[in-house]
Amino acid sequence: MTVGIVSEVSPGERRVAMVPSAIAVLNKTGTQFLMEAGAGLRAGFPDSEYAEKGVRIASSRAEVFQSADVVVQVRSPGANPETGAEDLALLRAGQVLIGFGEPLTALDAARSLAERRVSFLAMELMPRITRAQSMDALSSMATVAGYKAVLLAADALPRMFPMLMTAAGTIAPARVLVIGAGVAGLQAIATAKRLGAVVSGYDIRAAVKEQVESLGARFVVLEMEAGAAEDKGGYAKAMGEEFYRRQRELMGGVLAGENVVITTAAVPGKKAPILITREMVERMAPGSVVMDIAAERGGNCELTRPGEVVEAGGVQIFGPVNLPSTIPYHASQMYAKNIATFLKYLIKDGQLTLNRADEIVAETLVTHAGEVVHPRVREAMGLAALQTV
């Protein structure tokens, strides 16, 4: 079986789906690798390092698609609306594609993959179960995003994070609030704490209070009825508008005393909830920073514009996109390990096997044998449920 590695062609994307060190995971499976020249260069992995691991360098991108049984990407066509159509034209019937693909929202891309009879496995749909933890690419990328968000905020804030005792007097520490205590939020809390800030964390899931406090942060409690705020996959669940209205009302007073607010609240496949309104931003002190890493999902702040910096009353609101790509070496390393572990799980007797009775396969398989097979994607398309396999 041949696995193809291609350069990422999505604008601004610097990651690569497979790195030399991750190839060892598949050493005993009989897998061969074919790579487009220079695929790992922007992430810091030259062709020579791949060649040392037995990877064959192709003469062209088209050769990879023509020869590979499985193609691995970071951004497959659905997650690359700008240039993904070019790769769709190169895919062939019976081929397997693995990568991020925004399947719950990029419905046209899913249809096109089905029409080309490609079996597409979406990494963002990996179930959050114990045996799939090592394949959870969303968590890996969230770790990178949470870390980088704090560095960007520290750079933008017109004050230093730590408390310092100087000859000119004592410098008070910056106050940082992280909204959302998932993987990205917890990494942001840990990073801000290491930089010396006074850190608080908030999440609608009261169960994460212990995790927040274990990192040295204060858990913010808003006196409101949350109900069941976590879905079966461990993600925060979308709540009703009345809940969010009450949450914003109580959160306004908390924000007024913070120098940096980092928002990470996102619900897979849905628009991010608005947690910070214009009025709340107006209550913050001039020079404060809002770092909204849910910007790609529409943002948690009413003023967020994805990919831009907005200023309102002296407060800067950042809407960074694709933060993992800004640290491509380690982001690629983590993602490649997730992909390699997933491939090893799927390979039986030297061939990739898609057992649709298996929970991991069933949850990630979007298209197969000419059909869209994922229940949630079919529902989003308005298609009837398929018969149970």
Position 14 scores a pLDDT of 98
Position 228 scores a pLDDT of 47
Q: Which residues contact 57 (CB under 8 A, 6 or more apart)?
A: 35, 36, 37, 47, 50, 51
**Domain boundary pick from 321, 345, 362:** 321
Judgement on whether residues 300 and 163 belong to the same structural domain of the protein = yes
Judgement on whether residues 263 and 362 belong to the same structural domain of the protein = no
**Is residue 21 flagged as an active site residue?**
no
**Is residue 133 flagged as an active site residue?**
yes
DSSP state of 324: G
Judgement on whether residues 306 and 347 belong to the same structural domain of the protein = no
**Is residue 48 flagged as an active site residue?**
no
Judgement on whether residues 340 and 307 belong to the same structural domain of the protein = no
365 forms beta bridges with 121
**Is residue 75 flagged as an active site residue?**
no
Query: What is the tens place of the pLDDT at every residue in 315-345?
Result: 999 999 999 999 999 999 999 999 999 999 9
Catalytic residue among 235, 244, 329, 345: 235
Tokens 């991010």 identify what position? 272
Judgement on whether residues 61 and 13 belong to the same structural domain of the protein = yes
Whole-model pTM: value is 0.92
Query: What is the tens place of the pLDDT at every residue in 241-260?
Result: 777 777 777 788 899 999 99
Catalytic residue among 128, 175, 246, 376: 128
Structural domain including 365 reads 2-135+328-381
Position 242 scores a pLDDT of 77
Residues of the chain below pLDDT 70: 224-240, 388-389
**Is residue 139 flagged as an active site residue?**
yes
**Domain boundary pick from 298, 321, 344:** 321
CATH code for position 28 = 3.40.50.720
Domain count, the chain: 2
Beta carbons of 164 and 171 less than 8 angstroms apart? yes
Catalytic residue among 60, 108, 131, 133: 133
Judgement on whether residues 198 and 122 belong to the same structural domain of the protein = no
Query: What is the tens place of the pLDDT at every residue in 33-83?
Result: 999 999 999 999 999 999 999 999 999 999 999 999 999 999 999 999 999
Token readout for 205 is 């899931």
Domain-embedded: residue 106: yes
Judgement on whether residues 11 and 113 belong to the same structural domain of the protein = yes
Catalytic residue among 95, 116, 136, 187: 136
Judgement on whether residues 235 and 312 belong to the same structural domain of the protein = yes
